[in-house]
């Protein structure tokens, strides 16, 4: 498919997220009881009915929302819309009692099975990849204190124009994506380029809502991580840059104070470096 306009580019871009989402969930059952479905569905309907009564929603407004919901699907934006406006609450509930590092939402741009390497890696990038070089070091440990050798750290990020490989046309397949295995001390080192603040695709239905409400479409610059270690809960995280633009007004509400990086210049002037350790909860951590 050859994109013909900005709109086509954005649509091609985000529709891929529907495909990768289906791949991710195809082996999960998602079983739940009839009672749970009935309770949650009826409470959601009640909440909607209450808003309609309280704000005297008109037929014109109902039809506008109906047309907009249809367009979310046509634009392939359900993964984008839900991950931006809903996922953060699910993440809060899922991790509220978990010891170890705070996490954040997965978002729509994760792709499984990125290229793997061990110990110290440079993420796949173009020869002329723009941006400020960043060396990211981490030790992966258990909340019980021991390092976790063999832990897998899956990292993905936008380039310095805010474009993600696999979703934006013209970016090499695995650009700025990789999986690194921790060494005998649980340590990894990743050389990459600092990401830039990122504007979510705003040409489709999600952007239409943002414009209609007078909001903005920006996320602060961020690195995404999935940290997997045997016997431990997988940590889904995002790390941000302290004091950077939009850290206080993320459209996806996915920033937490514990997720801030403070990179410092490397002595030889080659870029910046930072360390941030990942602490994972044992699978059997106590839940109230």
Instruction: List residues near ligand MBD by CB under 6 A.
Output: 80, 83-84, 105, 107-109, 198, 200, 219, 252, 254
Cα radius of gyration rounded to whole Å, the chain: 20
Q: Which of residues 93-122 bind Fe ion (CB under 5 A)?
A: 107
- Helix or strand or coil: residue 90? helix
Report, in Å, the least distance between residue 108 CB and ligand MBD. Answer: 6
Which CB atom, from 152 or from 157, has the smaller least distance to Fe ion?
157
* Residue 84 binding result from ligand MBD, Fe ion, none, given CB thresholds of 5 to 8 Å by partner type: ligand MBD
Q: Which of residues 201-260 bind Fe ion (CB under 5 A)?
A: none
Whether the CB-CB separation of 69 and 209 falls below 8 Å is answered with no
What phi, psi does 36 have (nearest 5°)? -65, -45
Whether the CB-CB separation of 142 and 77 falls below 8 Å is answered with no
Report, in Å, the least distance between residue 180 CB and ligand MBD. Answer: 20
CA angle 75, 76, 81 (to 5 degrees): 95
- Helix or strand or coil: residue 198? strand
Spell 234-264 as b/e; 16+ CB within 10 A means b: ebbbbbbbeebebbeebbbbbbbeebbbebe
Dihedral angle of Cα 284, 136, 166, 254, to the nearest 10 degrees: 60
Which CB atom, from 101 or from 158, has the smaller least distance to ligand MBD?
158
Cβ count within 10 A of residue 128: 5
* Residue 168 binding result from Fe ion, ligand MBD, none, given CB thresholds of 5 to 8 Å by partner type: none
Residue of minimal CB distance from ligand MBD?
107
Q: Which residue has the tokens 């059952």?
A: 29
* Residue 72 binding result from ligand MBD, Fe ion, none, given CB thresholds of 5 to 8 Å by partner type: none
Report, in Å, the least distance between residue 263 CB and ligand MBD. Answer: 19
Report, in Å, the least distance between residue 46 CB and ligand MBD. Answer: 28
Which CB atom, from 153 or from 196, has the smaller least distance to ligand MBD?
196
Which CB atom, from 195 or from 263, has the smaller least distance to ligand MBD?
195
Which CB atom, from 76 or from 107, has the smaller least distance to Fe ion?
107
Q: What is the DSSP letter of 232?
A: B
Report, in Å, the least distance between residue 33 CB and Fe ion. Answer: 34
Cβ count within 10 A of residue 169: 12
Report, in Å, the least distance between residue 43 CB and Fe ion. Answer: 30
* Residue 200 binding result from Fe ion, ligand MBD, none, given CB thresholds of 5 to 8 Å by partner type: ligand MBD
In the complex, the residues that contact Fe ion under the rule CB under 5 A are 107
């Amino acid at each position: 498919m050859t994109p013909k306009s900005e709109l086509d580019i954005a649509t091609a871009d985000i529709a891929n997220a529907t495909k990768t989402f289906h791949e991710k969930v195809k082996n999960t059952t998602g079983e739940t009881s009839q009672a749970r479905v009935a309770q949650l569905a009826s409470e959601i309907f009640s909440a909607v009915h209450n808003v309609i009564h309280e704000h005297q929603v008109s037929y014109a407004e109902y039809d506008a929302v109906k047309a907009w919901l249809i367009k979310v699907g046509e634009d392939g934006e359900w993964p984008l819309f839900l991950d931006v406006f809903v996922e953060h609450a699910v993440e809060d509930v899922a991790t509220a009692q978990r010891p170890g590092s705070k996490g954040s939402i997965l978002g729509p741009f994760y792709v499984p099975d990125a290229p793997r390497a061990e110990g110290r890696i440079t993420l796949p990038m173009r020869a002329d990849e723009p941006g400020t070089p960043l060396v990211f070091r981490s030790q992966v440990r258990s909340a019980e204190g021991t390092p976790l050798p063999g832990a897998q750290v899956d990292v993905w990020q936008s380039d310095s124009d805010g474009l993600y490989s696999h979703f934006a046309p013209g970016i090499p397949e695995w650009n700025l994506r990789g999986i690194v295995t921790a060494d005998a001390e649980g340590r990894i080192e990743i050389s990459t380029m600092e990401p830039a603040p990122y504007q979510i695709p705003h040409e489709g239905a999600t952007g239409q809502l943002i414009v209609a409400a007078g909001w903005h479409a920006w996320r602060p610059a961020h690195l995404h991580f999935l940290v997997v270690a045997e016997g431990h809960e997988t940590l889904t995280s995002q790390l941000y840059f302290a004091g950077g633009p939009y850290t206080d007004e993320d459209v996806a509400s996915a920033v937490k104070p514990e997720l801030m990086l403070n990179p410092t210049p490397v002595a030889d002037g080659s870029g910046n470096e930072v360390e941030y350790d990942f602490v994972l909860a044992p699978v059997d951590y106590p839940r109230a």
